Amino acid sequence: MTVFDGLVAEADTAAGRLSGEVDDALGLCIFRGIPYADPPVGPARFGPPPPLTAWSGTRSAQRFGPAAIQATRVPGGPLAAAFGVPDGEESEDCLTLNVWTPGCDEGSRPVLVWVHGGAFRMGSSSAPAYDGSLLAERGDAVVVTLNYRLGILGFLACEELGTANAGLADQIAALEWVQREIRAFGGDPERVTVLGESAGAKSIECLLAAPSARGLFHGAILQSTYDTPMEPEDGYDHARRLAAHLGFGPDEMHRLKEVPAERLMAADAEVVAAAGPPQIGSGGSGPVIDGQLLPTSPVHAIRQGAAVSVPTIIGTTLDEARLFAALDPSGSGLDEAAASRRLLELLDAHPDDNALAEQAAEAYRAEREARGRDTSPDDLVVDAMTDRMFRQHSIRLAEALSGHSTDTWMYLFTWESPAAGGRLGACHAIDIAFAFGTASAMGELVGDGTEGLTETVQDLWLTLAHDGAPSSPTIGEWPPYQTTGRATLELGESPTVLDAPADAVRMIWQ
């Protein structure tokens, strides 16, 4: 039974009744901080999310639950305002989700479940950039955002304890909650689309490959998934270094469950720092191929048909790596010789392969000239960083998906940030504002005049959720991605479908 009474929205779930809020202006019921599992504390630390215990009476769902404990912080400025976690609002008791719905009724609306990013080390479902109000109201859809364990608490890979991928198990538990309970919030459990950005997109890539997640969702949208080490041995080594840092021997790994969470996270940060600059998602915090939840690499599993029945949108921003380059300017000011060396490093090529370095530089230079952009050595290297981390991996994933289905669509997001004098370009995370319609929360990172592109992006995302295929009045037909034509939708000031964009660059990476 569901109740919509005045300014209070109530919904009955298997665990008990919930009391949310009503946004009269948008006509939405909003429920925050709904538990989908019991706290993963004490003996349950590092393990699967414990089954949810029922409660008596009516539980308030009007405040966001605490974020997962995290040692890494979102950098200051507009990023912190949009994605940061207020001090003191973190806890091991973090397995909650939030729901925005046009009505707790029999609406059978499509459901969009958002998995937040943050390199598996930071972030929260309560971030202002992830406010589901506009998406739910505009699309007559139910929007869900969820927390999951982060860092060493969510992704300790420990051979001795038999643990790995607890954060992914959390996400699966949240999706199971959606299957059981979303009808009480006006949603259709047979039309669930998962979407996420960065680590959220990487999570969905893993969920597409995970046997235990099969059937829990029916569409997927991956915004900026990336390539990261996933071998379990790297995680095992990190766990042993962490234990040694805390004074535990190889036969005392179980004592990691007894260390106060704040000390554990601080020790993990110290171990990561001592190991040198980590690759994105590495340092013992991120999914690994554990032989159980992830029997093999996601790309391999998808290539073998693991996601054959899931319509999928996948894409990247044009300038993903510019955000990271701006946060760490130590690699700027390169001359041509230094840029050539860096290009070969990114390509995993022999350091003396001068012909390949020149070929790569020329391909990147031509692409930038075609867009009327600067072609300094720094620019070429940052473009190659974007390819190394994000774009070429996304292309490989799109190829794997399209090998089994015509329900794969690829995009390239090109809206440029006005921040930092325009130096960020179409940087990592800028597309989130357009998916949620939260440009105001992201401020100067996004800029003004976003309404038209926001409508287009939301049209595409919502029609995938509603109908299993994306469409929008502003773009005409968006052909599926196939290796013969490589149709790619450029999402910028004037959205248009491109044939095989930057193909000369792609061939170099092949």
Check 90, 92, 181, 320 and give the catalytic one.
Answer: 320
Q: How would you class 209 by CB atoms within 10 Å of its CB: exposed for 0-12, middle for 13-18, buried for 19 or more?
A: buried
User: What tokens were used for 307?
Assistant: 């996601």
Q: Is the dihedral of CA 107, 217, 320, 99 positive or negative?
A: positive
Would you call 198 a catalytic residue per the annotation? yes
Task: Retrieve residue 48's tokens.
Answer: 């699967």
| Inter-residue contact 478 to 490 (CB < 8 Å) | no
Facing residues of 142 across strands? 111
Residues paired with residue 223 on neighbouring β-strands, in sequence order: 197, 315
Beta strands in 209-263 (DSSP E): 219-223
Residue carrying structure tokens 């390539």? 227
Q: Is 440 a catalytic residue?
A: no
Contact 413, 317 (CB under 8 A): yes
Whether residue 402 lies in the annotated active site: no
Q: Which helix (H) or strand (E) holds 315?
A: strand 312-317
Rg (CA), the chain: 22
Chain CA centroid to CA 14, Å: 29
In the block, tokens 């919030």 appear at 185
Evaluated on CA atoms 358, 363, 369, 375, the torsion sign reads negative
Per the CB < 8 A criterion, the answer to whether 178 and 187 are in contact is yes
Q: Which of 428, 466, 472, 490 is catalytic?
A: 428
- SS3 at position 389: helix
Beta bridge partners, 411, equal 315, 489
Place of tokens 């800028």: 430
The residue type of 409 is W
Please list the active-site residues.
198, 320, 428
